[in-house]
Structure 1
Amino acid sequence: MRVITRALTGAATLAIIGGMSATAHAQDAASADDSIVVTGIRASLESAQERKRTADAIVDSIVADDIGKLPDSNTTEALQRISGIQISRDRGEGGSVAIRGLTQVLTTINGRDIFTAGGGRGYNLQDFPSELLGGVDVYKTPTADLIEGGIGGVIDLRTRKPLDFDGFELSGSVRGRYETLADKIDPLVSALVSDRWNVGGGEMGLLLSGSYQERSFRSDVISNGAPSLRSDIIPGQQIYTPNGDYEPLINGKRRRIGLQGAFQWKPNPDLEIFAEAGYQEFRSLQQQRGLNNPTNGRAVDPDTVTLYEGTSDFKSGTFLDVPITTYGVQRDTYDKNQQYTIGAKQFFGESSISSEFTYQKSTNELYYSELDLATVLPRLTIDTSGKVPSALVDGIDLSDINNYNIGPLTRSENHYKGDSYAGRIDGDFKIDNSFLTAFKAGFRYQKLSTSFVPIRFYQGPATTTSAAAFAGLFESMPFKDYFDGTSRLEHDYLTAITSNLGNAADWENVRQTIGLTNKPAVDPKSVYNMSEETLGGYARLDFGTSGAIPIDGNIGVRVIKTKLSIDGNQAVNGVVEPAFWDSSYVSALPSANLRVHFTDRLQLRLAASQSLTRPNFSQLSPALTLVPAQGQGSGGNPNLKPLRADAFDASLEYYFSRTGSLYLAGFYRKVKGFIFTNGNTQTIDGIEYVITQPTNGRSGEIKGVEIGGQTFFDFLPGPFDGFGIQANYTYVDSSTPAIIPTELTPLPNLSKSSFNVAGLYEKGGLSARVAYNYRSKYLSGIYGLSHGAGVPPELLPVYAKGYGWLDASIGYDITKQITVTLEGSNLLQRREFTYYGSPTRPNGRSIDDRQIMAGIRFKL
């Protein structure tokens, strides 16, 4: 099977990448006067470029001219192609998004704020299938009429509407996706149907679209553990020594469902009444199995120790009598999001008044269960070098149940709920003036409620209990090809059967079988309910001049009153007591956008603005646990203030053809009130405590440049005029107190450099694309290394090594209605590598699936 897998992957990769050069020869039979038809990739690039060119702020866009034509499976992956955007990856697919280094991003759908319950304020972009999108706009500078909430920017997801089509429309896609490590094939299906009718003197339209995706996944991960300083390994020398190794193999299956509906009715040309509804469901059923080998404090065979040359960093050695655990984990997450909107828009000549009401509902649930086996390894040999570190066992048979004791059983549940009611009214009034062109104003009210209920269980047998009597709960590690079956790691050991842990009834049976007496219970000190009301209004003036160098733009201000009510609990000396907080504040957010038209093709944009992002709900939680005997406490902080940013932007843009452009942009952000975890002294009930909680910190700065462009080489002779290119590069420098309150550090998860380059081909029904995305190393965290009592800890930055990501696709139009496609993702099979300050102190390594997709798109 492995040989077949590699052959299939290699063949698909060569077919996709090599196809772009082969396409030129495939067109030799075409006529010399074969003209370029603006469809497919060209149509998408032309539309996206025109949106950027004519926008009233600094905006980048992605457009799909047909359903299923965005080049990526989820919205996050599509966004990585835009300059200034960096994404994190979650089990081989796009996860969270940062714009110009800031993760505080507001997501909207057709201009309306959306969210996913879960303790934060953002929307989980993984939840939204890309097939349902007509396009995505990324606002890097705000205008007064945009909803507040994103100091990084605003991502607006645009869905299709029935009156956007000329008449009846039926389109969709059917694909299969093969994941190389998971060795599974899963379906991706999408469809859209839309129609419009003449009704009396007006017209009416209805659109329905849906997407269903499954994805099996697997990640092989190994971590050498955080370092500690030890002086007992080599006499007279302190050695940075890893605290063991942790070896999870993670596999599972994800399902993503999206449904969108839209209704439009225009009784006459001046009135539109509309309704929209959306539903997104994301489910991830994940299993995890592996070894946890902590070596901290364990004796070392001194004759086996080696160091990296020229360092005090441990390279390899053998630890003695290491207590370890093997584990089986079931981790299931469920997101469900719903949005419903009704509204109307009335035109009065070139002016208009619009209003709409939106209701949203979201739930997020996590179920985590784990059962461990425990034993002692007589000898554990660790070698941290190489692409895959080594961790080998000697002196025990890990495949024998008699060599294990029962370890702890865990059950954790997180239940988040949220809903929102929002209404708005907006006016757009044209002004007949040589300078002022329009006045816009509006009001918006929103009430957002959210709650959190955690359930916890952790217990092990009261005394040492042999696992032999419970052999039916365990199995041999089912994956023998961990990291390609390398001989540097153990593969033959026992783990808990994960199918016994996911279902509540099955888990309860395990608890009773082992004889544990406690039961899962709500953790009352962490429960909270919050309600937030915002009332906002804005005024905006649009202006423009004519002459030798025309200038236009907008200036405005948005004013918002925020009222927050928090109902939670605090634990003092083991006693849980209710806690309530109420707060309110008013914010004024001015913005200005200016555009200078040097020529019809060359324009300069300048922008200045202020923006805010409110703290996450989990950070505002009043949960506070105090231990009077130790004078210690920890919790959230209901007194957190919003993050506020002053922003200045410039963008020079040159448009030399319908699909050709170049741009150079610079940006500066000064962010006030970064949130970090800090310890402070408080006196409560006469007792002085050191309390660890999130706190607003000092100001930080983010600055950088973006450069990019795109074009098709239309000046080349056929068939080479079908080739094109897209490329962009972003440099971001930051200094913020986001991690260490006393020092300025780069923003976490921010690469200084990132770039995208994509080669394109489209002609004669054949289209191809090869896209490479790269980001340089980035700071993923800070580790405090203890040097003993009375000595401040040594702060070690934890870096992730830079990596590239290669995707590719080929499509061929069999007819005007049917296109066959072949696509590949993660073709280089990225290997993630993280380390503590220096690569000679490795932390984690991981690999994810390559993905090969094949199928058809249709349009009738």
Structure 2
Amino acid sequence: MQIRSLLFTLALALLTALASAQTAQRGTLAGRITDENGYLPGATVLVKGTTLGASTDLNGSFQLPNVPAGSVVLAISYVGYQTVELPLSVRAGLNEVPVVKLSAEGTQLADVIVKGTIAGSQMKAISIKRNALAMMDVLASDAIGKLPDRNAAEAVQRMPGVAVARYHGEADQATVRGTPFAWTSTLFNGTRMPSANVGGSRNAVLDAVPSEIIQYAQVVKALTPDMEGDAIGGSINFVTRVAPENRVLNVSAAGGFNNLSKDGTYNASIVYGDRFFKRKLGVMLAAAIWDRNWGTDEFTIAYNTGASNPQQQVAINSLLMKRYMGKRQTYGFNAGLEYRFNEGNRIYARGLYDMFNDIRPVYESYFAFNTSEYQLNYRYSFYQTRINGLELGGEHQLSNKLKLDYLFSDYTTEYYLNKTPNTTSKDLRGLPIATFRQKLTKGYGGLASDGRKYLSFDSPDGTGDDALGIRPYLVNPVADAIDPAKLTLRQLVLLQFGAKERDQVGQVNLKFDASPKFSLKVGAKFRHKERSGRSTSGSRVYVPTSSTLVALNTLEREPFPTRGGFFNELGNPYDAYAIDNITEQQLYNLYAPGFLQANGFRDVTPGSFPTTYSDGREDVLAGYVMGEWNASEKLKIFGGLRDEYTMLTANGSQYRRETVTVNGAPTVRESITPVTVKNNYHALLPMLHAKYALNQRTNLRAAFTRTFVRPLFTELTPTESINTTTNPITVSKGNAELRPTFANNFDLMGEHYFDNIGLLTAGLFYKDITDVVFSDRSVSLSGNVTTVTTQPQNLRNASLMGFEVGLTRRFTFLPGFLSGFGIEANYTRIESEVEVPRSVGSDVVMDKTPLPNQSRHLFNGILFYERNGLTARLAGNYRGKSVETISQQLGPRLYTWSNTNFTVDFSASYTITPKIRVFVEVNNLTNEPLQNYLGDERRITNSEWYSQRGQAGIRWDIF
């Protein structure tokens, strides 16, 4: 009934708006504001002597309704530019204002804006933020391109309150205010992007999106009713490039080097835009390619956390050392068309195609300290992520008071493995892994008195190493030296997984300007989502049955890719294990039917590694009503109500492995059966904002918003896996009855704008969160049978609070050379708490812990210099430690944490001529490692190093 009531309200508001529009007698002014470099978003447009005003949108255009007929003076102002006063004669209906071109204010500032590369982007970001209804921060394309950030996630890491996840040296996901990554929505042009995250997260992976195709990045921290409401942390909206006012053609090319792989990289882009047919038809084309070789050294330590003895829970089970030596390729293409009938009416189309190839040969050495074997693995991964789609939309000033906009979009995101070891069978596309083992005559040494391996501070008798100094000591190092003749092929695995989502979205919005002080906006949006996925622990597994095993030295091999060192950061202690491994082609040949048959390999799938499938559809119908009221010259109040009705149908499979009696004998029986469930729910979201101008330079903002996040697809899908052949019996399943997580958000923000393109902000925020989704682990006992069940549940409530401060300041008040310096800095402090139940004997205790992925401290700092055509930036990004994995069984003592991470990057450019600029950029100057640990920072679970990368190039602005 709620959705029907809301739709009735929207229809009534629309009819009222249409009826009122027919009697409108005043005029509407519509135009566009530019400078010599293009559109100026966030410019202020006022009718002099009145309170009538508006600001330009991201395309530099404005519509100013309810202007009295007759002679008026239009005042246009912009940060850092001279104010322009334009006399106009207004008539009833639409009045097109000629394009207004602003000029920079003052000789020194004009030189910075024209020749520099930072000032212009700072002005755009500050102006958009200043005039926005929502609490947001903005990053413009010319700022994105001047830092060594080559994908969308790396670009937004510089913004206040934003944290990123890194994968082998490159950022791939982003979150706002330290909340779990799934609590931040990622949008393209205002519509949430589909996600092909295999883990089911709704947060889109951003390493497939090159930064060159982005015009603006907007980080919204307090939503308004006309925005998608599924974002507790906030939303990140990437606005792709649109047709410019003037002809644009620029190209860039760069080459570089990766210090670990010792290989080259290259990057190139081209942007073209123009207008035709009396400037009515606009065209924009942008393309980018980033091809780089990369490398990572990583070691992983697995602990004996399943033990019942607390001492032995921190014993070391194994050490896994990995060398990645691969290639990554990012391709992006963005096209935009716009037909402008007049300043009040336009239609447009946008197209996007992105492809990300992640190619990874991986060399692994594995030491299981409770066995007498050494293991060598070789895998060849070829992951592909594809994002493509199309948008069609329009904006129309239907009358003096009524404006209509609409949009239809169709986007698809797909993640899959693109290698087929056996070319005769398309079913074998996946990730191939070959495992070789060598038996040790005496086993491993360096063990404690209880026969187990520990870190020294955990050891019962002090016998052990530091985590970064852990060594696989051999009792008989001579006889048990690694020998390719003794390493024999013991297992072949072909992992098969992937995910695909397609979103088809239609939306319409109507804005009715009832009077100079009040406007009403209503809208509706429908999204149809289709998702398919495949998850597995190992889709196909082959093991030898023959007593004659294939030795590594009998296969085609190639030199180990040392590339100047193996774990250089630790002093190269593992060089003895950097042995020659098989070639890529040899790996594929191992899966050929002839090889498998000749060497006695049999398929043990699915008994050991069942594959599960999931697919489904999700339809969302959303509607909202929103009002804007200029209560006085200084106070603006706006808000309203949004309702999102979700209809989910999920299809999955249930895997059961159980022991049954057949002919008097126990027999293991396996089965996989399909299952379908439905889950429908409302999300009613009231929101209220207030903006108060203390003076022309200072704003105060306050907001109450209610937002939510939908459960992950993997949590909702009714996939169930039951194994009765283990002790205890294990059950893992989804939960289609999960409720969404809701949050009541309270925000207070102050903004002060300096004269010389600067900004000081400070804010407080609090979130009261209900129905947090958590992976629940329960133990039940029936007779002598114990069953352990893992299932996501809605558990205890949570809270999050914090503050943030930010400063952008140019030191133009200093003399001479020093006047070129400036800083951009922001800091966010966050405290969160959630209660997690844990069984202690027959009792249940509540552990209080921070939210997963939430860092207490986030900091970004940029020291820049800009003068006489030279621009340089030294940028630091800090993310504090955060809980990554919560264990109900072990409790807070053994939670898994990500460690603090502080990266430093550098970039510089020099303007040779007004159209030609050379640049250089370097990432990860300090070779900062990524680390996780178990409970104690000394108890590292994994650490990886990826060294520095950099490039130098040239940009030519032809037009």
TM-score in terms of structure 1 length: 0.86
Inter-partner Cα distance in structure 2 for 1:101 and 1:495: 43
Say if 2:859 is the partner of 1:780. Answer: no
| Alpha-carbon distance change, 127 to 737 in structure 1, aligned in 2, over 3 angstroms | farther
Say if 2:488 is the partner of 1:405. Answer: yes
Alignment-mate amino acid for residue 255 of structure 2: G
Structure 1 residue 540, shift from structure 2 partner? 0.2
Q: Can you list the C-alpha shifts for 1:89-134, whole angstroms capped at 9, x where unaligned? A: 1111112212112121111111122123233322211111011111
Structure 1 residue 506, shift from structure 2 partner? 6.1
Q: 1:554 corresponds to which residue?
A: 638
Judge conservation of contact 1:440–1:539 (CA < 8 Å) in 2.
yes
Judge conservation of contact 1:343–1:357 (CA < 8 Å) in 2.
yes
Deviates more, 1:342-351 or 1:203-212: 342-351
Structure 1 residue 524, shift from structure 2 partner? 7.7
Inter-partner Cα distance in structure 2 for 1:109 and 1:566: 26
Inter-partner Cα distance in structure 1 for 2:864 and 2:533: 47
Judge conservation of contact 2:401–2:514 (CA < 8 Å) in 1.
no
Alignment-mate amino acid for residue 56 of structure 1: L
Alignment-mate amino acid for residue 359 of structure 1: D
CA RMSD for the aligned pairs?
A: 3.0
Alignment-mate amino acid for residue 849 of structure 2: T
Q: 1:486 corresponds to which residue?
A: 571
What aligned pairs does 1:233-252 form with structure 2 within 5 A after superposition?
Answer: 240-252=314-326
Q: 2:438 corresponds to which residue?
A: 375
Q: What SS does the corresponding residue of 2:545 show, helix, strand or coil? A: coil
Q: 1:194 corresponds to which residue?
A: 273
Q: 1:853 corresponds to which residue?
A: 951
Query: Which of 751, 759, 762 is 2:866 aligned to?
Result: 762
Q: What SS does the corresponding residue of 1:449 show, helix, strand or coil? A: strand
Q: 2:130 corresponds to which residue?
A: 53
What aligned pairs does 1:108-257 form with structure 2 within 5 A after superposition?
Answer: 108-118=187-197, 119-162=200-243, 165-199=244-278, 203-227=280-304, 240-257=314-331
Q: 1:541 corresponds to which residue?
A: 627
| Alpha-carbon distance change, 35 to 362 in structure 1, aligned in 2, over 3 angstroms | closer
Say if 2:513 is the partner of 1:415. Answer: no
Alignment-mate amino acid for residue 145 of structure 1: D
Q: Can you list the C-alpha shifts for 1:262-307, whole angstroms capped at 9, x where unaligned? A: 00001233220111110111110112112111113x6xxxxxxxxx
| Alpha-carbon distance change, 540 to 228 in structure 1, aligned in 2, over 3 angstroms | closer
Alignment-mate amino acid for residue 273 of structure 1: I
Query: Which of 825, 829, 848 is 2:927 aligned to?
Result: 829
| Alpha-carbon distance change, 450 to 175 in structure 1, aligned in 2, over 3 angstroms | same
Q: 2:85 corresponds to which residue?
A: none
Inter-partner Cα distance in structure 2 for 1:854 and 1:109: 30
Q: 1:357 corresponds to which residue?
A: 408
Q: 2:458 corresponds to which residue?
A: none
Alignment-mate amino acid for residue 559 of structure 1: D
Alignment-mate amino acid for residue 130 of structure 1: S
Judge conservation of contact 2:542–2:604 (CA < 8 Å) in 1.
no
Structure 1 residue 333, shift from structure 2 partner? 1.1
| Alpha-carbon distance change, 468 to 673 in structure 1, aligned in 2, over 3 angstroms | same
Inter-partner Cα distance in structure 2 for 1:256 and 1:354: 33
Q: What SS does the corresponding residue of 1:736 show, helix, strand or coil? A: strand
Inter-partner Cα distance in structure 1 for 2:305 and 2:652: 38
| Alpha-carbon distance change, 778 to 439 in structure 1, aligned in 2, over 3 angstroms | same
Judge conservation of contact 1:557–1:588 (CA < 8 Å) in 2.
yes
Query: Which of 57, 63, 75 is 2:140 aligned to?
Result: 63
Judge conservation of contact 1:674–1:699 (CA < 8 Å) in 2.
yes
Q: What SS does the corresponding residue of 2:472 show, helix, strand or coil? A: strand
Q: What SS does the corresponding residue of 1:639 show, helix, strand or coil? A: coil
Q: Can you list the C-alpha shifts for 1:592-613, whole angstroms capped at 9, x where unaligned? A: 1111111111111101111111
Judge conservation of contact 1:132–1:258 (CA < 8 Å) in 2.
yes
Q: 2:730 corresponds to which residue?
A: 632
Inter-partner Cα distance in structure 2 for 1:67 and 1:487: 37
| Alpha-carbon distance change, 513 to 762 in structure 1, aligned in 2, over 3 angstroms | farther
Q: What SS does the corresponding residue of 2:752 show, helix, strand or coil? A: strand
Q: What SS does the corresponding residue of 2:737 show, helix, strand or coil? A: coil
Q: 1:725 corresponds to which residue?
A: 823
| Alpha-carbon distance change, 386 to 840 in structure 1, aligned in 2, over 3 angstroms | closer
Structure 1 residue 229, shift from structure 2 partner? 10
Structure 1 residue 504, shift from structure 2 partner? 8.8
Q: 1:313 corresponds to which residue?
A: none
What aligned pairs does 1:768-807 form with structure 2 within 5 A after superposition?
Answer: 768-782=872-886, 795-807=893-905
Judge conservation of contact 1:326–1:495 (CA < 8 Å) in 2.
no
Q: What SS does the corresponding residue of 2:767 show, helix, strand or coil? A: strand
Say if 2:147 is the partner of 1:97. Answer: no
Alignment-mate amino acid for residue 37 of structure 1: V
Inter-partner Cα distance in structure 1 for 2:928 and 2:837: 27
Structure 1 residue 496, shift from structure 2 partner? 4.5
Query: Which of 44, 66, 73 is 2:150 aligned to?
Result: 73
Inter-partner Cα distance in structure 2 for 1:610 and 1:245: 46
Q: 1:596 corresponds to which residue?
A: 692
Alignment-mate amino acid for residue 764 of structure 1: N
| Alpha-carbon distance change, 134 to 513 in structure 1, aligned in 2, over 3 angstroms | farther
Judge conservation of contact 1:207–1:263 (CA < 8 Å) in 2.
yes
Q: What SS does the corresponding residue of 1:640 show, helix, strand or coil? A: coil
Inter-partner Cα distance in structure 2 for 1:247 and 1:649: 46
Inter-partner Cα distance in structure 2 for 1:525 and 1:810: 50
Inter-partner Cα distance in structure 2 for 1:107 and 1:659: 29
Judge conservation of contact 1:274–1:344 (CA < 8 Å) in 2.
yes
Alignment-mate amino acid for residue 268 of structure 1: N
Query: Which of 308, 323, 326 is 2:376 aligned to?
Result: 326
What aligned pairs does 1:614-653 form with structure 2 within 5 A after superposition?
Answer: 614-628=710-724, 631-653=729-751
Say if 2:804 is the partner of 1:696. Answer: no
| Alpha-carbon distance change, 513 to 673 in structure 1, aligned in 2, over 3 angstroms | farther
Inter-partner Cα distance in structure 1 for 2:920 and 2:739: 49
Structure 1 residue 397, shift from structure 2 partner? 5.0
Q: What SS does the corresponding residue of 2:113 show, helix, strand or coil? A: coil
Inter-partner Cα distance in structure 2 for 1:501 and 1:664: 59
Q: What SS does the corresponding residue of 2:496 show, helix, strand or coil? A: strand
| Alpha-carbon distance change, 50 to 739 in structure 1, aligned in 2, over 3 angstroms | farther
| Alpha-carbon distance change, 67 to 504 in structure 1, aligned in 2, over 3 angstroms | farther
Q: 2:652 corresponds to which residue?
A: 568
Say if 2:542 is the partner of 1:468. Answer: no
| Alpha-carbon distance change, 76 to 504 in structure 1, aligned in 2, over 3 angstroms | farther
Q: Can you list the C-alpha shifts for 1:126-161, whole angstroms capped at 9, x where unaligned? A: 111011111100000110000122211111001121
Judge conservation of contact 1:477–1:491 (CA < 8 Å) in 2.
no
Inter-partner Cα distance in structure 1 for 2:522 and 2:855: 39
Alignment-mate amino acid for residue 197 of structure 1: F
Say if 2:759 is the partner of 1:661. Answer: yes
Identity of paired residues, percent? 25
Q: 1:751 corresponds to which residue?
A: 855
Query: Which of 441, 448, 469 is 2:522 aligned to?
Result: 441
Structure 1 residue 576, shift from structure 2 partner? 2.1
Query: Please, which runs of 5 or more residues in structure 2 have no aligned partner?
Result: 1-105, 418-429, 447-463, 659-669, 839-844
| Alpha-carbon distance change, 514 to 474 in structure 1, aligned in 2, over 3 angstroms | farther
Judge conservation of contact 1:556–1:592 (CA < 8 Å) in 2.
yes
Q: 2:162 corresponds to which residue?
A: 85
Inter-partner Cα distance in structure 2 for 1:536 and 1:76: 28
Judge conservation of contact 1:624–1:635 (CA < 8 Å) in 2.
yes
Inter-partner Cα distance in structure 1 for 2:750 and 2:434: 58
Q: 2:100 corresponds to which residue?
A: none
Inter-partner Cα distance in structure 1 for 2:787 and 2:614: 23
Say if 2:906 is the partner of 1:808. Answer: yes
Q: What SS does the corresponding residue of 1:527 show, helix, strand or coil? A: strand
Say if 2:385 is the partner of 1:344. Answer: no
Q: Can you list the C-alpha shifts for 1:8-56, whole angstroms capped at 9, x where unaligned? A: xxxxxxxxxxxxxxxxxxxxxxx99796432420111111111111110
Judge conservation of contact 2:148–2:923 (CA < 8 Å) in 1.
no
Instruction: Name which one, 1 or 2, has greater alpha-carbon Rg.
Output: 2
Inter-partner Cα distance in structure 2 for 1:261 and 1:137: 20
